[in-house]
C-alpha cells in the first residue's frame, strides 16, 4: 500500500516472477482517496529462494518506491485480528521521552548514545534502561509535567485509533518508557490498556531509579499475552507495531508484526513494514478495508 503512482504492480509482481512465485489471486483499489492498496495471494512452494529471503527482497523493492508491505500466510490472514498494541516512543509519539528528560538533566548526549545502542539491539534493554535512568538522578519532578505537555502525537494516530476501535479492535500501549507520558497519551488516543514503568522520586527530585515490569522484549510480549487472555483470543489474533530492537520479540511472535519508522534490525525481520510516514496504511495492512473480505471469498 502506498501513494498511487505508476510502477507499483510491477515492483511487486516483477520480484515474484523473477523467483518463480506464482500470483494466484489479486485485488486492488484506491482507498482514502489517494492511497493505492493491493492484496495478492501468492504460492511460494516452487520459488527458487526461501520465503524469508523472498519477503526481504520484496520489502527492499517496496522501500524503493515508498510502499508499505505485509506478508502473512493465508491462515494468519484469514484469522480475524482483534487486538493491536503499539510501542510508544518513536511510534505513537514523535519524541523519545527519556532523551527529553536527559536534555533537561544536562546529560542528553550520553543518554542518546545509550538509547541508540539499545534500539539497534547492540545493548541489553534492561541494562540500558537502568544506566540511562541513573543519569537522571536529581532532576526536579516538575520537569516531568513540562515534558508531558510538550508531547507530540504522531500525525494520523488519533484518527487511526478511532477507526481501529470502530472496527472492533482493542488497543494497547506497551512501552519500556514511563507512566507519566504513557498514561497521558493513552487518555488522548483512547487506549484500552497501558503498560509502562515508573520513575522513582524523593523530596521532589528523581532518585535515578525505575520500577515496573516493562523491562525488556519479553515483557512486552507478556503484556500482549495478558490482554489476549483477558479477551479469550490467541496471539494469532494480535497485531504489534514498533520501531526498535526491544519491539522485535513481540513483532515476531504475534499474528502480524509491523515495523513503523523502523530501525534496521526491525526492517530486516518484521513481516510487515510501513515505509511511509502515513500511518493510515496500517488499516490496509491489517485488513480494515473491503479488500480483505473480497479476496477471502476467492481463497
Catalytic residues, which ones? 87, 89
Is 132 in contact with 116 (CB distance < 8 Å)? no
Neighbour count for residue 124 (Cβ, 10 Å): 16
Contact 249, 220 (CB under 8 A): yes
Q: Across the chain, which distance is largest between two alpha carbons, in Å?
A: 67
For residues 146 and 297, what is the distance between their CA atoms, to the nearest angstrom? 52
Sign of CA dihedral 73, 275, 235, 84: negative
260: β partners = 274
> Residue 246 has which C-alpha cell?
526491544
How far from 93 is each of 55, 80, 100, 261, 273, CA to CA, in Å? 28, 27, 12, 11, 18
- Give yes or no for a contact between 200 and 123, defined as CB atoms under 8 angstroms apart: no
Strands (DSSP E) along the chain, which ranges? 2-3, 22-31, 35-43, 69-70, 83-86, 170-178, 193-202, 205-211, 238-242, 256-260, 272-274
Amino acid at each position: 500500500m502506498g501513494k498511487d503512482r505508476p510502477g507499483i504492480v510491477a515492483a511487486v509482481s516483477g520480484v515474484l516472477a523473477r523467483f518463480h512465485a506464482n500470483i494466484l489471486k489479486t485485488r486492488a483499489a484506491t482507498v482514502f482517496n489517494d492511497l493505492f492498496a493491493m492484496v495478492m495471494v501468492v504460492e511460494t512452494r516452487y520459488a527458487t529462494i526461501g520465503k524469508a529471503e523472498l519477503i526481504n527482497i520484496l520489502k527492499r523493492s517496496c522501500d524503493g518506491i515508498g510502499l508499505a508491505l505485509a506478508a502473512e500466510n493465508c491462515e494468519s490472514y484469514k484469522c480475524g485480528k482483534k487486538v493491536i498494541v503499539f510501542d510508544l516512543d518513536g511510534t505513537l509519539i514523535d519524541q523519545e521521552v527519556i532523551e527529553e528528560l536527559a536534555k533537561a538533566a544536562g546529560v542528553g548526549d550520553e543518554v542518546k548514545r545509550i538509547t541508540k545502542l539499545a534500539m539497534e539491539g547492540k545493548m541489553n534493554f534492561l541494562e540500558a534502561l537502568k544506566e540511562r535512568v541513573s543519569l537522571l538522578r536529581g532532576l526536579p519532578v516538575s520537569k516531568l509535567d513540562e515534558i508531558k505537555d510538550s508531547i507530540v502525537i504522531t500525525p494520523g494516530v488519533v484518527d487511526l485509533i478511532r477507526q481501529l476501535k470502530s472496527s472492533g479492535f482493542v488497543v494497547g500501549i506497551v512501552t519500556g518508557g514511563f507512566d507519566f507520558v504513557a498514561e497521558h497519551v493513552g487518555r488522548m488516543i483512547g487506549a484500552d490498556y497501558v503498560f509502562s514503568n515508573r520513575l522513582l522520586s524523593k523530596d521532589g527530585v528523581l532518585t535515578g531509579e525505575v520500577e515496573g515490569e516493562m523491562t525488556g522484549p519479553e515483557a512486552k510480549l507478556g503484556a500482549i499475552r495478558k490482554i489476549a487472555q483477558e479477551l479469550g483470543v490467541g496471539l494469532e489474533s494480535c497485531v504489534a507495531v514498533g520501531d526498535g530492537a526491544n519491539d522485535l520479540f513481540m513483532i515476531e511472535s504475534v499474528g502480524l508484526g509491523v515495523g513503523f519508522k523502523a530501525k534496521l534490525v526491525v526492517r530486516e525481520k518484521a513481516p510487515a513494514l510501513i515505509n511511509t510516514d502515513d500511518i493510515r496504511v496500517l488499516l490496509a495492512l491489517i485488513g480494515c478495508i473491503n479488500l480483505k473480505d473480497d479476496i477471502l471469498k476467492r481463497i
